[in-house]
Chains A and B, each alone.
Chain A
Amino acid sequence: MIKCNRQGPVWIFAEQESGKLSDVPLELMSKGRELADKLNVKLTMILLGQGVEDLAKHLAAYGPDEVIYAEHPLLKDYQSTSYAKVLCNLIEKYEPQIVLYGATAIGRDLAPRVASQMRAGLTADCTDLQIGDHEEKDGTVHKKLMYQIRPAFGGNIIATIINYDRWPQMATVREGVMPMPEPIGSNNCKIITEKVHLSPEDLALKILEKHRQEKKVNLKAARIIVSGGAGVGSRENFKLIWELANSLGAAVGASRAAVDLGFCDKDHQVGQTGTTVRPALYIAIGISGAVQHRAGMQESAKIVAINNDPEAPIFQIAHYGIVGDLNDVVPKMIKAVRERV
């Protein structure tokens, strides 16, 4: 636990693996800037690893006030205990009032370990962050706290969480919910390097093998997504979804139910446990629209729903709807799309 330092900076943990930055810390830049400006404090990116000086310079181009980086051979591969130790030491030194992490496999492994060690609060999987006041039942008012806004209860409620006394205020933020910025080029960003003291005992695990593959499907970048659900019926029939997507130059998405039933690979999954998308057009076919799915696509600019159940919840967030048998409607749609040229 650190003291509540109102001058403390806003930190973003700049997750990297093998010299490659994760998307989320960059997605967090504009939100981090907004929070820091409202609090009138610095925005700082924290980078740990081995040989990451160039990455630190790269981060500086996105416009934080500072980049603090710490290098050590034992930080080459991410491990919970070593990274948590270094990060906790830095938090004690700089007393940031806010620390943000991406809600990635690493972020969700590291942040709770740090929170426990610091005895500080942590909110998982936030979709938004704001600055605001909080009044306790006894009338005590806490000014300018970070509102940590997240879906809970399977997406059925939106909770706003605060932490007024056991700082830093920490949150992990979902991938893809905030827009990716462009580098702004030169600025007055200060780059600071920190010394790290680690010994082999700080590494609890031995990493024997490591395999990474780029996701084959980039749903986040797609302008149009054609998504199929359980209603599509079979992997064979899912070809209809692919065909419509091809005719539109769209990416293929799927609901969790469709993935669980084996109609489509997990890389295509849209929703709370899959990818969060915000395309210009989202066509939901045979998807009933469980909250978990809606959480991952409701920010789409236009939503078309095709379902044989007029009561399906998906229609409540759709802009356009067709109630009908998808086996009948989708081929007609492919035809109409092809004929337009």
Chain B
Amino acid sequence: MGYNCVVLTKQVPDTKAVTAKAMKDDGTVNRAALPAIFNPEDLHALEEALMIKDQYGGTVTVITMGPPNACNILRDAYERGADRCILVSDRRAAASDTLATSYILSCAVRKVGDFDIVLCGRQAIDGDTAQVGPQAAEKLGIPQITYLEELVSLNNNHIVVRRNVGNGWELVQSKLPVLITVIDSANVPRSPAAKRIMKYKKARAAIEVKKEIAGENNADDPEIAKQIEQKCNELKAKGLLIEHWNLDDIDADLQWCGRDGSPTKVHRIQAVVLKGEGHKQFEPSEDGVRELVHELIEEHTIG
């Protein structure tokens, strides 16, 4: 018995960490200065999956789509308790919008197969669209429950969830399989266990091994290629090789991937520049405050 959960995750720039240091002189954000993190709500989705496993048994598989560097969040997921982590990475997936992304993720979930519950964070903090969850559900042909705040019950292939809809809540029941998006008030994500950190900090995807061993050298050099293969085999034997799937591995139809598969295109990007027109300064003294209030009354801002 038990339930097989698949968690869809994303590595994102920490847009909440925009401090003065991350600002350029022209008032725009220096994106490179932002750390790459596990999308916060995806951590809550992972925790929900781990809680299901703790209570009912089953497996937790974590998928992320992104550059090889996204393996950092997969290692984090392993350390927190995931059973299997998969990197979906392919240059042909670049410039995917939410629709193409959800198509690619749905292909990966299908390849995992035999899933009961697909979970993901409600939205990612770099785009805040909240579209990938519902779109992936539609692509998988399964129902969606958005904004999970509490998993109320799970039995006989039925799940009952309390969803927070902002101006209230509702209890809904769905048959499995189902896709669920999770909000941050659902749970408190567990910390990685020390033992698991010791083990899984060594986990690597083959593409990372290649980079680490070959460095600037030619990875096709027979000697280097042999070393890489050996290392990968070693990792695999220890269960430390992060699986890497490309678009062919997941049988994705290329017309729905990447730039071609994306109906939305960027027309223009403007950096937000703080107005910086200057403001009228008042002293923090009794007189200063009085002057400010007086001015607000004069201009009829307060009556």
* A binding-site residues for B, Cβ under 8 Å: 80-81, 84, 104-106, 108-109, 111-113, 115-117, 119-125, 132, 134, 145, 147-148, 151-166, 204-215, 224, 248, 272, 280-281, 290-292, 301-302, 304-305, 311, 313, 315-325, 328-329, 332-333, 335-337, 340
The residue that A204 contacts in the complex, of B13, B98, B143, B268, with Cβ under 8 A, is B143
A205 touches which of B23, B145, B166, B262 (Cβ 8 Å): B145
Q: Knowing A124-B129, A155-B272 touch, does A214 contact B167 (C-beta < 8 A)?
A: yes
Q: Is the CB of A134 within 8 A of B267?
A: yes
Those of B92-135 within 8 Å (CB) of chain A = 97-99, 102, 125-135
| Residue in B closest to A306 when the chains form the complex, CB atoms | B284
- Other than A164-B265, A212-B167, give 10 A-B pairs with Cβ distance below 8 A: A161-B267, A165-B263, A207-B173, A212-B168, A248-B302, A292-B16, A318-B279, A322-B292, A336-B292, A340-B297
Q: Which residues of B are found within 8 Å of A117, using beta-carbon distances?
A: 138
Q: How far is the CB of B61 from chain A (nearest CB, A)?
A: 22
Complex contact A159–B135 (CB within 8 A): no
A112 to B134 Cα, complex, angstroms: 6
Top 10 nearest A-B pairs (CB, nearest first) are: A324-B284, A154-B15, A121-B263, A204-B143, A166-B263, A116-B138, A212-B168, A124-B129, A316-B274, A112-B134
Question: Chain A residue with minimal CB distance to B165?
Answer: A105
In the complex, what residues of A have CB within 8 A of residue B295's CB?
Answer: 320
User: B247 interface residue, CB < 8 Å from A?
Assistant: no
Chain A residues, CB < 8 A from B132? 112
A116 pairs with B139, CB closer than 8 A: yes
Known: A121-B263, A211-B170. A205 touches B143 (CB 8 A): yes
Q: Are B301 and A302 in contact (CB under 8 A)?
A: yes
- Main SS of the interface on chain A? mixed
The answer to whether A332 and B272 touch across the interface, beta carbons within 8 angstroms, is: no
Return 20 A-B CB contacts under 8 Å, by A number. Answer: A105-B167, A122-B131, A123-B129, A124-B127, A134-B267, A153-B31, A156-B272, A158-B271, A158-B272, A159-B270, A205-B145, A212-B167, A213-B168, A280-B301, A281-B296, A313-B274, A322-B282, A333-B289, A336-B290, A340-B293
| CB-based contact B281/A322 at 8 Å | yes
Interface string of B172-196 (1 = CB under 8 A from A): 1111000000000000000000000
Is A156 in contact with B146, judged by CB distance below 8 angstroms?
no
A154-B126 contact given A109-B134, A161-B264, A207-B171, CB 8 Å threshold: yes
**Which applies to chain B's interface (DSSP): helix, strand, loop or mixed?**
mixed
In the assembled complex, which residues on chain A have CB atoms less than 8 Å from the CB atom of B172?
Answer: 205-208
CB of A152 within 8 A of CB of B135, answer no
CB distance from A153 to the nearest CB of B (A): 6
With A119-B99, A154-B16, A313-B20 known as contacts, the answer to whether A124 contacts B289 (CB < 8 A) is no
The reply to whether B15 and A159 form a contact with Cβ atoms under 8 Å apart is no
Task: Tell which of A151, A165, A211, A340 touches B168, judged by Cβ atoms closer than 8 Å.
Answer: A211
Q: Are A108 and B264 in contact (CB under 8 A)?
A: no
Which residues of A sit under 8 angstroms from B144, Cβ to Cβ?
Answer: 80, 109, 113
Contact B99 A290 (CB under 8 A): no
When chains A and B are docked, how far (Å) is the Cα of A304 from the Cα of B295?
A: 12
B7 within 8 A of A: no
B27, B268, B294 — most chain A CB neighbours (10 Å) = B268
> Chain B residues with Cβ under 8 A from A113's Cβ?
134-135, 137-138, 144
| In contact, A323 and B284 (Cβ under 8 angstroms) | yes
Chain B residues with CB under 8 Å of A112's CB are: 98, 129-135, 138
Q: Determine if A163 and B265 form an interchain contact, defined as CB atoms under 8 angstroms apart.
A: yes
Does any Cβ of A come within 8 Å of B148's Cβ? Answer: no
The interface residues of chain A lying within 8 Å CB-to-CB of B285 are 332
B interface residues, Cβ below 8 angstroms from A: 13, 15-16, 18, 20, 23, 27-29, 31, 97-99, 102, 125-135, 137-139, 143-147, 160, 165-175, 256, 262-272, 274-276, 279-286, 288-290, 292-297, 299, 301-302
Q: How far is the CB of A328 from chain B (nearest CB, A)?
A: 6
User: Given known contacts A208-B172, A324-B284, is B128 in contact with A125 (CB within 8 Å)?
Assistant: yes
Kindly state the separation between the CA atoms of A159 and B147 in the bound complex, as whole angstroms.
Answer: 26
Note all chain A residues with C-beta closer than 8 A to B137: 80, 113
Verify A319–B280 contact, CB threshold 8 A. Answer: yes
CB-defined contacts of B286 to chain A, threshold 8 Å: 332, 335-336
Contact (Cβ within 8 A) B130 A153: no
B100 to chain A minimum Cβ distance, whole angstroms, is: 10
Residues in B whose Cβ lies below 8 Å from that of A311: 20
Instruction: Kindly state the separation between the CA atoms of A182 and B125 in the bound complex, as whole angstroms.
Output: 35
Tell me, rounded to whole Å, the shortest Cβ–Cβ distance linking A340 to chain B.
6
A316 to B26, CA, bound (A): 12
- Bound together, the chains give a CA A162 to CA B285 distance in angstroms of 51
In whole angstroms, how far apart are the Cα atoms of A185 and B7 in the complex?
Answer: 51
Contact B263 A163 (CB under 8 A): yes
- The residue that B170 contacts in the complex, of A209, A215, A280, with Cβ under 8 A, is A209
How far is it, in angstroms, between the C-alpha of A121 and the C-alpha of B262 when the chains are bound? 7
A167 nearest in chain B by CB position: B263
